[in-house]
């Protein structure tokens, strides 16, 4: 039984019959249907069900689907299956300037009348939202539910690549060493403090050493580690369900063995072992730490480390206050690039579809260009 990906509170009250999509002008009338859905909500539920195994992706996609559904029926008085390219241009403008009623802070956080926006979306967030919705429309076209994708005509503007050609959300080698040292400083006098210390110590090393997203670390199990030709690898199913494998160093395996020993487990994992790579806050060997908990733990460490660094390095402290779990993934990639690792290897380690995405981590070349240029002026 599939749990309804669109919660009951997300779309109540249901739209009237003339807005439910049965008579949508973009319906695929003559194609062979791959799904049995008769209404837009039913069709979108099936699309979301494809992501049931990726909670973080599901939440993000559901949010965009709900926003579009409510805007379409309430603002345009149209079902989603009647939206045209002109409507989607209006929706793009709406995302950049949502009316006051949509961002009313007095509205509840949950329920059919909840607030759906914290404020206007940034250009980057708008691109992400429309990209998600284009994926939805492509799915419904492939399923025979829609005749065409109204976002397929959207012009791909030159701002896909950011103004800065390199990513800046990473820690320098000095800041990374500071974080590793700082992790060792909190008190460890009680059993609870020691457990927290071991969890934090392992979590930071795992996110950095395996270049993982928070959701990937939360989903990973001990049985996902395996040996090939005497070397350790971690099988990962990442964003969009893309599978890959990541090389795991002997040093990281030693850190994992230490973490497992603290919890009374053998140092090396067994094949098919279901123990989470990062156990729950209570240290339960059958429950993983959630992506949200991983994010909050990392943010707390960065915040406290920033306070400790404020007096001697205010710029570094400012950087740490902005840092999050994804910064550790960026840091891993940047440090690999600085060390001269082949960009193709980094691409595979991060599971990037395009090598252009990986190229933003090549800071060393930019550093050399800066030094060569300023040294001659």
Tens of pLDDT along the chain (377 residues) come to: 344 555 534 444 467 788 999 999 999 877 778 888 999 999 999 999 888 877 778 888 898 999 999 999 989 999 999 999 999 999 999 999 998 888 877 766 665 566 788 889 988 889 889 989 999 999 999 999 999 999 987 765 544 444 444 557 889 999 999 999 999 998 888 999 999 999 999 999 999 999 999 999 999 999 999 999 999 999 998 777 778 899 999 999 999 999 999 999 999 998 889 999 999 887 777 888 899 999 999 999 999 999 999 999 999 999 999 999 989 998 998 888 888 888 888 888 888 777 666 766 666 556 655 565 566 55
- Give the tokens for residue 345: 């290897």
What's the pLDDT score for residue 160?
42
165, 241 contact by CB (below 8 A): no
What's the pLDDT score for residue 165?
44
Per residue, the 3-state secondary structure of the chain, as one string, reads CCCCCCCHHHHCCCCCHHHCCCCCCCECCCCCCCCCCCCHHHHHHHHHHCCCCCHHHHHHHHHHHHHHHHHHHHCCCCCHHHCCHHHHHHHHHHHHCCCHHHCCCCCCCCCCCCCCCCCCCCHHHHHHHHHHHHHHHHHHHHCCCECCCCCCCCCCCHHHCCCCCCCCCCCCHHHHHHHHHHHCCCCCCCHHHHHHHHHHHHHHHHHHHCCCCHHHHHHCEHHHEEEECCEEEEEEECHHHCEEEEEECHHHHHHHHHHHHHCCCCCCCCCCCCCECCECCCCCCCCECCHHHHHHHHHHHHHHHHHHHCCCCHHHHHHHHHCCHHHHHHHHHHHHHHCCCCHHHHHHHHCCCCHHHHHHHCHHHHHHHHHHHHCCC
pTM score:
0.58
What's the pLDDT score for residue 286?
82
What's the pLDDT score for residue 358?
72
| Alpha carbon distance 32, 20 (integer Å) | 21
């Amino acid at each position: 039984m599939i749990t309804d990906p669109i919660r009951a509170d997300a779309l109540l009250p249901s739209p009237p019959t003339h807005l439910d999509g049965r008579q949508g002008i973009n319906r695929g009338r003559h194609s062979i249907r791959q799904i049995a859905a008769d209404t837009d909500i039913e069709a979108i539920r099936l699309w979301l069900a494809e992501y049931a195994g990726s909670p973080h992706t599901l939440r993000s996609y559901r949010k965009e689907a709900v926003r579009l559904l409510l805007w379409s029926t309430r603002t345009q008085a149209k079902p989603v299956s009647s939206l045209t390219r002109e409507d989607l241009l209006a929706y793009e403008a709406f995302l950049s300037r949502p009316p006051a009623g949509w961002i009313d802070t007095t509205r509840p956080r949950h329920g059919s009348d909840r607030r759906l926006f914290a404020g206007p979306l940034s250009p980057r967030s708008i691109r992400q939202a429309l990209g998600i919705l284009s994926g939805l429309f492509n799915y419904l076209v492939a399923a025979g539910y829609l005749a065409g994708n109204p976002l397929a005509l959207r012009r791909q503007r030159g701002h896909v690549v950011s103004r800065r050609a390199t990513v800046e959300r990473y820690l320098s080698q000095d800041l990374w060493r500071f974080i590793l040292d700082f992790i060792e400083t909190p008190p460890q006098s009680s059993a609870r403090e020691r457990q927290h210390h071991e969890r934090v110590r392992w979590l930071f090393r795992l996110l950095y050493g395996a270049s993982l997203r928070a959701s990937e670390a939360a989903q990973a199990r001990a049985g996902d580690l395996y040996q090939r030709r005497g070397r350790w690898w971690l099988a990962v199913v990442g964003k969009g369900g893309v599978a890959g494998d990541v090389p795991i160093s002997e040093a990281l395996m030693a850190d994992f063995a230490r973490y497992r020993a603290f919890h009374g487990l053998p140092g090396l994992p067994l094949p098919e072992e279901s123990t989470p790579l990062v156990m729950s806050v209570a240290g339960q060997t059958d429950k993983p730490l959630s992506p949200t908990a991983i994010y909050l733990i990392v943010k707390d460490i960065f915040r406290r480390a920033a306070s400790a660094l404020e007096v001697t390095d205010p710029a570094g402290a400012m950087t740490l206050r902005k840092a999050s779990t994804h910064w550790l993934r960026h840091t891993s990639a940047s440090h690999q690039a600085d060390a001269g690792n082949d960009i193709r290897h980094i691409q595979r380690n991060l599971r990037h579809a395009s090598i252009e995405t990986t190229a933003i981590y090549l800071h060393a070349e930019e550093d050399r260009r800066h030094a060569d240029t300023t040294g001659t002026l």
